[in-house]
Structure 1
Amino acid sequence: MHQTFEKALNKAGFPSGRAKQDKVFNAFRSGKHVILKAPTGWGKTFAVNAALGNGHHIYSLPLRVLVDSLTEATNDFNLHTCVAHHGQERNHPFLDPGNDPVDPYGLVYTTLDQTLSSFLGIPIGVSLRQGNILPAVVDNSHLIFDEFHLFEPERSWTTALFALQQAKKNCVVLTATLSDFMLEFLEEFLATTDIGKEYGVEVIEAGRPFLNRKELVEGNGFENVESIELGQRTIIIKNDINSAKETAQVLRKQVDLPVYLLHSELLAQDRKEIEERVQNIFSEDTNESGILVATQVVEAGIDITCDVMHTDLCPPSSFIQRAGRSARYEGEESKIIWHAIENAGPYRSQEELIEDLEQYLEGKELLDENTEQEIINLSESFDKEQVEKFKQRNVREVDKLRSQRDYSAYRDMIRSIDNKNVAIGTDLSQTYHFISVSRSKFYYKEGFFYKAALEKPSKYGVYNSELGEVVPTDHIEKADFILFDPEFVGYRKELGFTFDQLGGAEKFLDKNRDTVTRYDYDNETYEEHVNRLYLKLSTASWMIDHLADHPWIGTKQNADFIARFLIWAHDLGKLTLKWQQAHQVASDSDPMAHTKKDGEFDRIRKPPKHAWIGAWMVLDYLLKRFGEDPKSPKLTKPVFWAIADHHGYSDNLNKKDIQPYEIGFLEYLDGMAVRNDWIEDEWNSSILDPIRLKKSETENVYKNFRNQALQLRPEDDLSLYFMFCYILRKADQNATELVSIKREEQKTSTNKSMGNIVE
């Protein structure tokens, strides 16, 4: 790891002398929280990458395209081993250092949705049963939140602040367009965190590395699109997709230049191809000409420039972001022509800000640094309102959600998503590529999707995965997947959905998803499985180190003890006679942990749920070992629930799951301590209480599982529970992979995969 900023420059192949960027390095390496406000072109991505040292880092961005572009840039810097993960690039769902402690990922780029949902214990990047693996990763990582001004007020913005408030490591907040008021608030807020109190907060405001001339001109509202002023490279940014389409179609008929259209309602591969083409034409030092018509999708993440820009009026921060796509590189000049709008469209909640911006721009001729900051500060009243709303809330909201594991909180705490997955086709048994469209667009009477749904709804209906059936298209709110009739709706890469040009339905068929991956297992004895977990404990070593720092744990020796105990105890429930009999294992044989399908020990009936049994049998031992009162078991509780939840949250455990059992194979269990020196001598059948559970006792066991003393509550130290879950489940999953058999099977039904994406 580079220990100085100069070494980082040398490693990345940059010349020396970036004095302002080294302030980021010095502040972060000294343990401070860092707020970096830097304009486009300043080099904030490299500055942050250079500053990151030892430890694990999660770099969160509001858009997928930003994740991809920054990962590519970081690989070019050659400073960190990094990986990207988001909904379409599912490379690294646990967001952690990976499975190789010798060569870990030091940096994970991901979307804000992935990070914040993981922080809340309701991660969208993994299955529901894996939800308790990720919170500890976020808690124990350095968090970098970029494009902070794009976070959604009262949702992702608030939750990100809560994550910073609970962070155990110093963090970085990056932005280009925060008002002076918001910058001051962030500094004051971070100063109240544990890290801020101990190490401090440093705010770094960077000026522009160069000043280009950007002329401001008031436009006529696109009344005559065919006669608008054009440059060698012109970018036109509209606030809504319909008007962007109309503008592009008019220009394609009227001008002798290539016209590119970019918006969110394009198939992912088509959008990527258009973005790559646009970045080549509208990049630095090219002689090509062209026109780009786009929506706000180009405000961030696409490195482009132009000499003439037309833009609908929008909120101040968005206006500055758009302006940053003109005269982007040193020595360029541009003209920014702004156009008043009749309605705020997607910016309805910020309509007053748009009006303020219009009044401010009247008479302004140049966009210089002072003008930019004055425009940004127009948002001050809006920012004050958001801060006041935040102050009415409390981080206890997070503790409550993390203890209750409430997946419905995603809408309120991260992002309000009510999209419909849309494709063109006729066969609901097929698997489709889709375009995610806002539900409201099906009710907007002047919009494309209202016309499609109302005038000629698909004769093939829409599928509702919760109901498991096709529902009529006049009940759009019940649908999560919509097929448009190809005899009515077409699709073109250069346009999107269209009524005028049919065809294109074949582009929506996903021909690569005809099979499904399923996993079976080779035969594995109980002892083999437990030993494999111990061997894979190294993949969670970084978390064990963090565990040792917890005041209730105190030493590496204590942390190792608990980590090994979790491994030894987690599958004790598989030693019940019923569990083994369900897999055709005789009571005088070695017990099995996994069995091969269609093999000697193939399962013949459903075995009992074993996770709760293991936790229940060691409860008394834990209380005695930690010397705790059963009415207030602060350390016993997270260990207990980490075992009970090692196959996922056990909130759905009900009375019928609490079945009578009898533990067998006790001599085998005791012999394991003799045969394996990592197992403590005291871990044997003598600490299991009870060995047998009678039917008459199951009601009391269930009540104990649900009593207030044993339940995880918001006031408990939930960070310990999540660390224990991560350590145990990381080792368990990696050990299980060693005996997993991957099977590719033909899909028989695809409907269940048609749910909405949330990121």
Structure 2
Amino acid sequence: MDFRSFQTRAAEALKRGSSVLLHAPTGIGKSVGSALGFTQALPKNPADTPRNPLLGTRLLHVLPMRALASSVAKDIAGLLEQQGFGEMYRPAIHHGQQQESEIFAERVGVTTIDQYLAGFAGAPLSFSSRSGHAVAGAVVASYSVFDEVHLLGPERGLPLLYAVLQQRRRWGLLSTVMTATLPKSVRDFLVEQVGLEPVELTYADIQARDGWREVTLSLEEIEEPAERVLEEFKAHGRVIAFVNTVEAAIELYRQLQAKLGPEDGELFLVHSNFAPSHRKALEERLLEVFGRGSTARAVCVLTQVGEAGINISAPVVLSELAPIDSLIQRAGRCARFDTQPEGRFVVYRPRRERSHTPYSEDLVKRTEVALHNRGDGFRLDWTAENELVDEVLDAYYAHFIRGETVSRKDAEIKKAKKGERGELPQPAPKTKSITIADALGLLDQTFHSRSADVLEGTLREINNVQVVVVSEPPRNAAGAEIVGAEGTENLSEFERYLDQQNRLKPYQRDTLESIPVSYGRFARRLEEQDLWELKLVKEEEHDKPLYVLQRAERVRSNRTYLLTQADAGYSPTVGLSFGEVDYVEPVHGLITPVVPRDGEQDQPPKHNFQSWREHCSRVYRAVDAMLKSKYLAWILHIAKQMQARGVLESAEQFAQTLESMIRLAALLHDVGKLSRGWQREIGWREGTGEEFWAKSKEGVEVGELPPHAFHALPVLRYLFRKLGVVDEQGKVDRLAELIALAAARHHSLGNPDGTLQWPPFELHAGVLEEIRQLLQDELGEDSEPIRALITPELFDHINDDSTYKLEKGKHTYVLDTPSPSEDYYPFYVLANRMIKVGDWEASGEREVELCR
């Protein structure tokens, strides 16, 4: 396959070890350009080592909004197929509504910036909190592409992007920032401060789009948008109309619906507030009707979800006035295909109060003046796009990336007249920005709190809540949790349905589809109302996650709330609306969709008994495979960056020591299971001659097992100290403590303040020999120094009250855990990922780390 110059130059820069800033217009192939080097580094066989581990281990393509994920995943899948990989490396989409990924274990992940940032900081939004630091390990060990992520809001997005890029640069990790709409000053700043290698388009690259395409932009006064859409539709047969808010889009759709019949052509409404199954069907039909080669007569009303990622085109595109970067993205849907090279892009100011919403009023005003200054109708090519972006956005973005203060003029914007050049109003953002230092602090704070609430508060306006619409309100007036209790006859139909679902095994349950709604839109309308929150929780007294319905104290991002038909409605054609909607027959008391379970999933998971030594050996071998295939290369590379900064004397020696510690941690991660109390509870019986158990036997009823994972911390600290992994004061080295912590946290992270607690270890006959035999089996002669340390003294150390304070029957230890700004952070999260994934693979007898 022939690639464009900018695509091959981006790939070559990555292969040289340079991170890239790829500057190119919409619709020209930036996604392919950012992924090409990755596909060239992939192994032909998934089990083999990548040709370049730092580039070919894992690709995370990061987006500003969910709506773009499917299209980007499709583009990358197409490239992989063209490169001869077929279905071998299928991209996984992961965001708040579509969660295909398993802790970013796939070779290719397409995600959103909020998911990426929270994962980077060890507090993932859409994965179990127990997997948090393993997700951070995947984010660190990835080639990361940041695709127009500043569109989430430059006030917060740019400093956070810069903070992440700076940390990745410190560790020598490859990244690409791709953009069509960052002003030159910001691009130059990222090149200078983060060391990105700029990749610009050649004349031939530009001609690949602008050589045949001619789109004229005009700024007009439009009194009745619906009438203008109908006029253009009558003349051209295909029109796309962009509207800034969901409410306004629904209103325009209703006006057009009243005047267009089925015989005239198809009418579409697309916004973000649709259920996943309906949204997918809608976009598939939209691609058929507005895609390449189609001549069908149709009108489509779109919000921001259509600005990028949907490969559709029309000869006429109308758009409400918006910031210039959004307008350029929208114009990319005009005359997009060479089968129809000419098009008109018409921009108008909507006639409603707060017409700039949801955008910055400053940016909308600056855009309007800049367009007025261009005069009546001008060609919107790559040169004009860049000039407009720099003119409108440069001074505004300077606030957030350079920390500059731009003064505000009190004079109101002069009304620009034809042929008269207006002065752009000075930017004065109302949204509070954060400094780059603040951004680093946010990531650290998120890590230590183990909650994405800190980031959610910062990114709130781009985060969503999820909504489920029911036919009647819950009748459980006390707001008590529903956990399958008796007496369901007085509950609503939906409450009875939840009760029925709670009685099923998780693999037997239906899927309740929820509707994403922007936090701002939802909170403005409903924050003062009494709301019900729907959660799926795992509690200790139950053997499975249960649906819980309870009163919500406040509106929080990424939570699911219940609305009744008195509050909102839903239909497959209009989506979620707080106004008039088409009638939908409830199913199980739900207006929003329910996807029935697949009958093939009714079989329970296979029971998997394992002896303790067998299980630990499997974990060790899984970790060994991960180290050899890729992670040793990552460890050594990051260590070399530290050596270059003077933090380490020898990267090679450091990497060898770290490798040895990780291997020992993997072997002994489950040492706590050998305690007599734990063995007794799982069903093992003394005096039978059986090996110690790690997994229960089929048919053996097991109660609540005592904690076991945190015993690994004192065991490994003791062994590392005796083996000489100590600092200048003779204490266990900081890195050694972190590797011990990574192993101890393979199930749970412990208390938010860093406190780990474990019951006293009950040493009994056979335990010492069991551990020694495991070490001999896997390490051979190299195990001799360690085997000599497996004595009763080791277990005296675990139970030592002076080192590990005993409170309420549990030993306690507080360890200062690392955070994203610390040099050792990548080693800690990589070790935690390998041991956690190895444990999952050994327990489930299946491969989890697909990018191995």
Shorter-chain TM-score above 0.5: yes
Alignment of 1:242-641 (within 5 A): 242-255=247-260, 256-330=264-338, 332-341=341-350, 342-344=352-354, 347-348=357-358, 350-362=360-372, 363-369=375-381, 370-377=383-390, 378-387=392-401, 388=403, 389-393=434-438, 395=440, 397-412=442-457, 414-416=459-461, 417=463, 419-426=465-472, 427-430=494-497, 432-438=512-518, 440-441=520-521, 462-463=532-533, 465=535, 481-485=560-564, 490-496=569-575, 497=577, 499=580, 501-506=582-587, 508-513=592-597, 521-537=607-623, 538-541=625-628, 542-549=630-637, 550=639, 554=652, 557-588=656-687, 589=689, 590-596=691-697, 598-599=699-700, 602-604=701-703, 606-625=704-723, 626-628=725-727, 629=729, 631=731, 633-641=733-741
Alignment-derived partner of residue 78 in structure 2: 76
CA distance in 1, matches of 2:164, 2:823: 17
Superimposed CA distance per residue, residues 111-150 of structure 1 (whole angstroms, 9 cap, x where no aligned partner)? 3333222211112242111111122222232211112342
Q: Which amino acid aligns with 1:375?
A: L
Aligned to 2:425: none
Q: Do the aligned partners of 2:77 and 2:91 also contact (CA within 8 Å) in 1?
A: no
The CA RMSD over aligned residues, in Å, is 3.5
Report Cα offsets for 1:29-78 as digits up to 9, x if no partner: 22212111111232222222322333323222223343322222233223
- Cα separation, 1, equivalents of 2:835 and 2:617: 13
Note if contact 1:618-1:687 (Cα within 8 Å) is conserved in structure 2.
no
Letter of the 1:74 partner, please give it: I
Q: Distance in 1 between matches of 2:215 and 2:224?
A: 24
Post-superposition offset of 1:443: 6.4
CA contact (8 A) 2:215 2:335 kept: yes
Q: Note the alpha carbon deviations across 1:192-234, whole angstroms, 9 max, x for none.
A: xxxx6xxxx2342453523333233333344362354313211
Give 1:345 deviation, angstroms.
Answer: 5.5
Counterparts of 1:173-212 in structure 2, within 5 Å, are 173-191=177-195, 201-205=197-201, 207=206, 209-211=208-210, 212=213
Tell me the secondary structure at the aligned position of residue 301 of structure 2.
strand
In the alignment, the residues of structure 2 paired with residue 92 and residue 469 of structure 1 have an alpha-carbon distance, to the nearest angstrom, of: 24
Name the counterpart of 1:744. none
Paired position in structure 2 for 1:746: none
CA drift of 1:383 comes to 0.4
Helix, strand or coil: the match of 2:664?
A: helix
Distance 1:402 1:685, change over 3 A: farther
Aligned to 2:268, the other structure's residue is in SS state strand
What is the alpha-carbon distance in structure 1 between the residues aligned to residue 442 and residue 163 of structure 2? Answer: 9
1:169 aligns with 2:271: no
Counterpart position of 1:720 = 827
Secondary structure of the 1:58 match is strand
Separation (CA, whole Å) in 2 of partners of 1:484 and 1:404? 31
Between the aligned partners of 1:593 and 1:204, the Cα distance in structure 2 is 57
Q: Give the superposition deviation at 1:263.
A: 1.1
| 1: CA distance, partners of 2:611 / 2:656 | 29
- Greater mean alpha carbon deviation, residues 729-738 or residues 221-230: 221-230
Residues 686 and 657 of structure 1: CA distance in aligned 2, closer, same or farther (over 3 Å)? same
Amino acid at match of 2:824: D
Q: Residue 27 of structure 1: CA displacement?
A: 2.0
Paired AA for residue 435 in structure 1: I
Q: Deviations over 1:480-533 (max 9, x none)?
A: 554444588653322234535322433624242599997685332111111111
Q: CA deviation at 1:473?
A: 9.8
Letter in structure 2 aligned against 1:524: Q
| Secondary structure of residue in 1 paired with 2:258 | helix
Farther off after superposition, 138-147 or 315-324: 138-147
Are the structure 2 counterparts of residues 253 and 143 from structure 1 closer, same or farther at C-alpha, using a change threshold of 3 Å? same
Letter in 2 for 1:508: T
Q: 623-632 or 352-361: which moved more?
A: 623-632
Q: Which moved more, 1:295-304 or 1:542-551?
A: 542-551
Deviation at 1:349, TM superposition (A): 5.3
Contact in 1 for aligned 2:160/2:436 (Cα 8 Å): no
**One-letter code aligned to 1:623:** R
Whole-angstrom CA distance in 2 between matches of 1:675 and 1:21: 50
Which of 232, 239, 255 in structure 2 is aligned with 1:234?
Answer: 239
Q: Give secondary structure in 1 for the equivalent of 2:748.
A: coil
2:209 match: secondary structure: coil
Aligned to 1:40: 26
Instruction: Write out aligned runs for 1:100-115 (5 A).
Output: 105=107, 107-115=108-116
Q: Distance in 2 between matches of 1:406 and 1:490?
A: 32
Which secondary structure does the structure 2 equivalent of 1:337 belong to?
strand
Q: Aligned match of 2:774 in 672, 683, 704?
A: 672
- Distance in 2 (alpha carbons) for counterparts of 1:394 and 1:572: 39
**Percent of matched pairs sharing the same residue:** 22
Per-residue CA deviations over 1:286-342 (Å, capped at 9, x if unaligned) read 222211111111001101111111111011110111111111123521122211134
Distance change in 2, residues 1:190/1:683 (3 Å): same
Could you tell me whether the CA contact under 8 Å between 2:23 and 2:179 is conserved in 1? yes
CA contact (8 A) 2:533 2:560 kept: yes
* Count, aligned residues: 696
Report what 1:153 is aligned to.
154
Amino acid at match of 1:671: Q
Deviates more, 1:45-54 or 1:684-693: 684-693
In structure 2, distance between residues paired with 1:224 and 1:686: 80
Task: Tell me how far apart the structure 1 counterparts of residues 514 and 621 of structure 2 sit (CA, whole Å).
Answer: 43
| TM-score, normalising length: structure 1 | 0.82
User: Could you list the runs of 5+ residues in structure 2 that have no partner in the other structure?
Assistant: 42-51, 404-433, 473-493, 499-511, 538-546, 641-647, 848-852
Of 314-323 and 575-584, deviating more is: 575-584
Deviation at 1:257, TM superposition (A): 3.4
Contact 1:462–1:473 (Cα < 8 Å) also in 2: yes
Q: TM-score, normalised by structure 2?
A: 0.74
Structure 2 Cα separation of the partners of residues 479 and 567 of structure 1: 34
Structure 1 pair 421/630, CA: closer, same or farther in 2 (3 Å)?
farther
| Aligned residue in 1 for 2:143 | 142
Aligned 8 A contact 2:35 2:76 in 1: yes
How far is the alpha carbon of 1:472 from its aligned partner? Answer: 7.5
8 Å CA contact 1:237, 1:311 repeated in 2:
yes
Q: Any idea what SS the aligned residue of 1:582 has?
A: helix
CA–CA distance in structure 2, aligned partners of residues 563 and 529 of structure 1: 17
